Amino acid sequence: MDDLYRELILDHYQHPHHHGEIPDADISYEDSNPLCGDKIRIYIKLKGNIVEDVKFTGKGCAISQASASMLMDELIGKSLDDIKKMDKQFILDMLGIPLGPTRIKCALLPLKVVKAGVYGIHTWPDEEEEE
Ligand code: FES
């Protein structure tokens, strides 16, 4: 079973889905894996509260890039609240192979960036009201 998942991960790494930029994205955020310095930037285009389109750029190992590619597939059609509920286990189930502590950081980087971007947009209205 692991082999199937490994092949899937390699395929996403070699042919990433939703790779690129969205110039008029509603959410754009970048962060890095502190262990290796690899960076991922995500772009999210919303329709109301729902993700209409997503893209990502950046560089990293096979696990981080495959995790980003698979996560982009998952995000389309989801609400911002759905995204806030996604957790470490969601990513581990999505990748489907056991990962050591270092590799888990790689696997979680894309979700970390997506969540930071999503929580970021939700603080904007409050900040504007306070000004
Ligand atoms: Fe850098 Fe995996 S080694 S993200």
Q: Is 9 in the pocket of ligand 1 (CB under 6 A)?
A: no
Distances (CA, A) of 116 to 7, 17, 31, 67, 112: 29, 21, 9, 16, 6
The pTM of the full predicted model, rounded to 2 decimals, is 0.89
User: How many angstroms separate the alpha carbon of residue 89 from the centre of ligand 1?
Assistant: 19
Pocket test for ligand 1, best of 9, 31, 105, 112 (most atoms within 8 A of CB): 105
pLDDT over threshold 80, residue 1: no
Per-position DSSP letters for 18-66, written without gaps between them: TBS--TT-SEEEEEE-TTT--EEEEEEEEETTEEEEEEEEE---HHHHH
pLDDT tens-digit map of 18-47: 999 999 999 999 999 989 999 999 999 999
Q: Is 86 in the pocket of ligand 1 (CB under 6 A)?
A: no
Average pLDDT over residues 64-68: 97
Q: Is 62 in the pocket of ligand 1 (CB under 6 A)?
A: no
**Predicted confidence band at 128 (pLDDT cuts at 50, 70, 90)?**
very low
Pocket test for ligand 1, best of 61, 65, 69, 108 (most atoms within 8 A of CB): 61
pLDDT tens-digit map of 77-111: 999 999 999 999 999 999 999 999 999 999 999 99
Provide the CATH topology of domain 2-119.
Sufe protein. Chain: A (3.90.1010)
